[in-house]
Amino acid sequence: MKNIAILISGGGSNMKSIIKRSQKAQWLKRYQTQIGLVLSNDPLASGIDWAKGQGLSTAIVDHKNFLQEENPRRAFEDALIHTLEPLAPDLIVLAGFMRILSPHFVSRYTNKLMNIHPSLLPAFTGLHTHQRAIDAGVKFAGASVHWVSDVVDAGQIIDQAVVPILPGDTASGLASRVLTQEHLLYPRAIENWLKTQAT
């Protein structure tokens, strides 16, 4: 049995698309894979309630609980690892998880950490990708699923979806169209990974 852990920070729209795809495509039956845990760093993340409603195991590791530690990020990541370890995850999916993970965490889960970024990497790493793409005058934006490395948004690209930038586009309008593609791209990338594991 393979276990996938999904890490979120908010409503978890990408998480929902992944879980719905796992149910519809019968990942449990076809790939002996289950969503073993949905974890959030924010106790108010509405995605946790949704996941509970699906009968999934959930956990909260609130990063704010570690702010008084000598090394807050290390203490938070150690708590993340402690929470994930009983699951022994085969894949950890970052789905709107709004914390940058250090090499301490990333190296522990090499080739097991997948992320989605709202641009056609390597272009427009970091934040405010949609406005930056519009300001740069490029004709296409999109989303990229990639393996997480020590450098933010610089890991090996797994799959991408292209979204045209329209005349007069706004950042919010472009973001909405890109998100629609993310909801198709991320489950597809994970399922393709599962297929490679099954062979």
Helix (H, G, I), strand (E, B) or coil at 190: helix
The packing angle between helices 171-198 and 129-136, to 10°, is 110
Residue 117 appears among annotated catalytic residues: yes
**Would you tell me which CATH number, out of the four given (3.40.50.170, 3.40.1310.30, 2.20.25.10, 3.40.50.1100), belongs to the domain 2-198?**
3.40.50.170
Output the pLDDT for position 199: 66
Which residues are bridge partners to 91 per DSSP?
4
Cα–Cα distance measured from residue 84 to residue 8, given in angstroms and rounded to the nearest whole number = 14
Per-residue pLDDT of the chain (199 residues; tens, 9 = 90+): 999 999 999 999 999 999 999 999 999 999 999 999 999 999 999 999 999 999 999 999 999 999 999 999 999 999 999 999 999 999 999 999 999 999 999 999 999 999 999 999 999 999 999 999 999 999 999 999 999 999 999 999 999 999 999 999 999 999 999 999 999 999 999 999 999 997 6
Within 8 A by CB and 6+ apart from 48, the residues are: 8, 12, 38, 40, 58, 60
Q: Domain residue spans in the chain?
A: 2-198
Output the pLDDT for position 158: 98
Measured in degrees and rounded to the nearest 5, phi and psi for residue 62 equal: -80, 115
Marked catalytic residue, from 63, 82, 104, 117: 117
Output the pLDDT for position 196: 94
